[in-house]
Amino acid sequence: MADDHNLTNHFLIAMPALEDPNFSRTVTYVCEHNDEGALGIVINRPSELTLRDLLSHMEIELPASAGRDVPVFVGGPVQRERGFVLHPPGGGWEATMEIDGAVAITTSRDVLEAMADGSGPSRFLVALGYAGWGPGQLEREMAENAWLSGPADPAIIFERDTDERWQAAAALLGVDLSLLSSDTGHA
């Protein structure tokens, strides 16, 4: 795949006409994109589950003073029982892949244990499940105008309120999604 078409470290912003219930009005952070397909984490779909709930379920002790009632996100429709933590690089956890100089993804339990005891990343997004595309699938969806794409901004992942992320990601491209029609048409 040519580097100019690689969407790793990009946002996929669902177009208003995208009605798939898994992706309607979502922003997906692309962690990996190559000839074999793509993997991303939806960053604006909080679940009812909190980090405290997840840690309790995993039998990871959390001090009462820790206050980890942050939401766990629905990262996508694939393997919803599998956990992913987006965070700034560093920490030396077992299963971490640095995506760029500002974002890494960790899938090992040790990062959650570190978060529970206060030694984990200060900024993070925890998700269950991921969005996956097979070879050529994402490229087809892009050609069908299902997605806008543009370089990711870690501030949107880690600092923006969840309900602002869809519009904020599009605004990076100079697009106001409220001005786009959800009706599709052909000239």
Q: Where are the domains of the chain?
A: 3-178
pLDDT tens per residue, range 55-102: 999 999 877 666 568 999 999 999 999 999 999 998 889 999 999 999
Q: In this predicted structure, what is the pLDDT of residue 61? A: 85
Residue 49 CB coordination number (10 Å)? 15
pTM for the full predicted model = 0.91
> 1: closest CA among 29, 32, 27?
32
H or E segment at 137?
helix 137-143
Of 6-10, 115-119, 144-148, the least confident = 115-119
Res. 122: pLDDT tops 60: yes
pLDDT tens per residue, range 144-158: 999 999 999 999 999
Res. 140: pLDDT tops 70: yes
Q: In this predicted structure, what is the pLDDT of residue 7? A: 95
Res. 3: pLDDT tops 60: no
The mean pLDDT of 128-135, rounded to a whole number, is 97
**CATH classification code of 3-178:** 3.40.1740.10
Distances in whole angstroms, Cα of residue 167 to Cα of each of 25, 32, 39: 9, 23, 22
Place of tokens 């997605």: 147
Res. 105: pLDDT tops 70: yes
Of 62-66, 129-133, 135-139, 150-154, the least confident = 62-66
Residue 137 CB coordination number (10 Å)? 12
Res. 186: pLDDT tops 80: no
The mean pLDDT of 169-178, rounded to a whole number, is 91
